[in-house]
Amino acid sequence: MADEKDDPSGFKVVDRRIFDAEGTRRSVSPEGEEKPAAQPEPTPETSAEAEAEAPYDYDEGPTNFDTLVSYLSTTAMFQLGLLPGPGGERIPTDLVNARRTIDLLEVLQEKTRGNLTPSEAKLLEDVLYELRLTYVEIDKRLSQRPR
């Protein structure tokens, strides 16, 4: 480009955004090159290898308040030993971190009070009730276990 020769600093600014100023997806890359053609369908032999190497591609819908509450409550359930690990193995109970996760949900409830829809407030209230009750039951059971 002619501008590059006139610029003594040697810096080049390239707009790498995938959307143009109107908000539509660009059909060419920022460098002016066309996007590469779509990859061919993987064969059964290569798909297992690609699955192991590629990051998990999930499309579970929009991320919203319900998703956050679900994520934190699932984490607490793992920490309470209620859910098996990814390979089906038993995860040991971690009451300290389970309490911390439940506390995070309580902070979320306090900081969002008055700003949630009735269904969001009910969800958070129900999740906290169940997690607190379960925490107390597991703590009681573990404290009664002979050492």
pLDDT for 29: 53
Residues 6 or more apart whose Cβ sits within 8 Å of residue 135: 76, 80, 95, 98, 99, 102
pLDDT in tens, 17-68: 776 767 677 666 545 554 544 555 555 555 555 555 556 566 667 789 999 9
Token code pair at residue 44: 């059964």
pLDDT for 93: 93
- Domains of the chain by residue range: 65-144
Token code pair at residue 2: 């002619």
- Check residues 101 and 39 and name the one with the higher pLDDT: 101
Residue 55 and residue 1: Cα distance in Å, rounded?
38
Backbone phi, then psi, for 28, in 5-degree steps?
A: -120, 155
pLDDT for 88: 86
Q: Is the pLDDT of residue 137 over 90?
A: yes
pLDDT in tens, 104-133: 999 999 999 999 999 999 999 999 999 999
Mean pLDDT of 72-95: 91
pLDDT band at 86 (very low <50, low <70, confident <90, very high): confident
**Which residue, 81, 124, 78, 122, is CA-closest to 104?**
124
pLDDT for 67: 93
pLDDT for 39: 52
The answer to whether the CB of 135 falls within 8 A of the CB of 80 is yes
Residues 6 or more apart whose Cβ sits within 8 Å of residue 105: 69, 72, 73, 76, 124, 127, 128, 131
pLDDT band at 91 (very low <50, low <70, confident <90, very high): confident
